[in-house]
Amino acid sequence: MSTTWHVLGAGSLGTLWATRLARAGVPVRLVLRDTTRLQAYEASGGLTLVEHGEAQHYAVPAETADSTQPINRLLVACKAYDTESAVARLAPRLAPGAELILLQNGLGSQDAVAAQVPQARCIYASSTEGAFRDGDWRVVFAGHGFTWLGDASHPVAPIWLDDLSTASIPHEWSTDILTRLWRKLALNCAINPLTVLHDCRNGGLQQHHCEVATLCGELVELLERCGQPAAAENLQQEVERVIHATAANYSSMHQDVTSKRRTEISYLLGYACKVAGRHQLNLPHLNQLESRLIARLQSLGLPSD
Ligand code: NAD
Ligand code: KPL
């Protein structure tokens, strides 16, 4: 019998993973916030995944954090700002040798969780898959992509990657996961805040070429200073390529702001500025971008952390 995957956070990515694992016959259980959510979930009868316009229903079993069953494998699919408190509630249930897979975008939340549960192995992930909720317990698989997984302190791939293959979740074990996460963070810092400040689609940044180039210059300095030269390579070209390739899309941060949702600023631009400060690196445009973004979020009545 294979090990059960506990999935913490039944939002977009959590549902995308839970339904594909369940569809492949891999044992999965959702961990929901409280009994109110659990009752609502049970009344709905399960999760729905919409793929290629077709909705499929999966009766994935669920529990709350207060359940007592030990957890051996935990997929953490909360937003970065919820991760630490969500994992803290489950820490007493983690079995010796438990493994956590952290799906959060940006940086900072993963290290915080790893410090919180030193007895567990924490595997960091970086995903280009895209999903969004179009109803309670219902998720649309919007963008097929790829997920890299890695463990900066232990290069050997876990055996359970086979479960991901069985579930047709495109993935690869990465021995440089931090470089991947830093690269994605740099891309997000160069694109997402500006799309909020200029209230435009990604393609709208083609009108702000100089601003983008200046930010890329500072991000390259930061990456090199933090020992991530590979993440800095041709950053500006990559940013321009992404702006062009995703010209018609709104960035994830722009979508959060439009929907009045809290952003993950502290784990993206906020993290970059904090690390620059720690290295006593003066990056005036990046700092100014952070101040402008915070001011904009506050003016919209949104949390700025
Ligand atoms: P989401 O808001 O759709 O889902 C998060 C879920 O976690 C919510 O259902 C929330 O209720 C739940 N949650 C929060 N605290 C909890 C707790 N204490 N106990 C139980 N559940 C709790 O978020 P998402 O879009 O799935 O994003 C998750 C992470 O993945 C983010 O860091 C995001 O940047 C990253 N990511 C998302 C996508 C995407 O397409 N959605 C793509 C790549 C990366
Ligand atoms: O990852 C992205 C996002 O919207 O979060 C893009 C726009 C592709 C890069 O910042």
pLDDT band, very low/low/confident/very high, at 195 (cuts 50, 70, 90): very high
All structural domains of the chain, each given as residue ranges with its CATH number in brackets, are: 5-175 (3.40.50.720), 179-299 (1.10.1040.10)
Supply φ then ψ for residue 135, to 5 degrees: 170, 170
Question: Would you state the pLDDT for residue 165?
Answer: 97
pLDDT at 1 over 70: no
State mean pLDDT over 251-280: 98
Is 264 near ligand 1, meaning CB less than 6 Å away? yes
Q: How far apart are CA 117 and CA 130, in angstroms?
A: 28
Ligand with an atom nearest the CA of residue 188: 2
Question: Would you state the pLDDT for residue 252?
Answer: 96
pLDDT tens-place string over residues 27-63: 999 999 999 999 999 999 999 999 999 999 999 999 9
**If you take atom 2 of ligand 1, which residue's CA is the nearest one?**
11
State mean pLDDT over 272-295: 98
**If you take atom 5 of ligand 2, which residue's CA is the nearest one?**
252
Is 252 near ligand 2, meaning CB less than 6 Å away? yes
- The Cβ of residue 291 has, within 10 Å, a number of other Cβ atoms equal to 10
Is 12 near ligand 1, meaning CB less than 6 Å away? yes
pLDDT tens-place string over residues 211-221: 999 999 999 99
Q: Which of 79, 184, 260, 274 is catalytic?
A: 184
pLDDT at 278 over 90: yes
CA 178 to mean position of chain CA atoms: 14
Residue 184 appears among annotated catalytic residues: yes
Is 215 near ligand 1, meaning CB less than 6 Å away? no
pLDDT at 177 over 70: yes
Question: Would you state the pLDDT for residue 239?
Answer: 98
State mean pLDDT over 142-162: 95
How far away, in angstroms, is 242 Cα from ligand 2 center?
A: 8
**If you take atom 10 of ligand 2, which residue's CA is the nearest one?**
188
Is 13 near ligand 1, meaning CB less than 6 Å away? yes
Q: Ligand 1: which of 38, 71, 78 to mutate, judged by most atoms within 8 Å of the beta carbon?
A: 78
Atom of ligand 2 nearest to the CA of 128: 1
The Cβ-side half-sphere exposure at 294, using a 13 Å CA radius, reads 13
Is 133 near ligand 1, meaning CB less than 6 Å away? yes
Q: How far apart are CA 140 and CA 175, in angstroms?
A: 31
Question: Would you state the pLDDT for residue 2?
Answer: 87
The answer to whether the CB of 64 falls within 8 A of the CB of 33 is yes
Atom of ligand 1 nearest to the CA of 109: 32
How far away, in angstroms, is 130 Cα from ligand 2 center?
A: 10
pLDDT at 125 over 90: yes
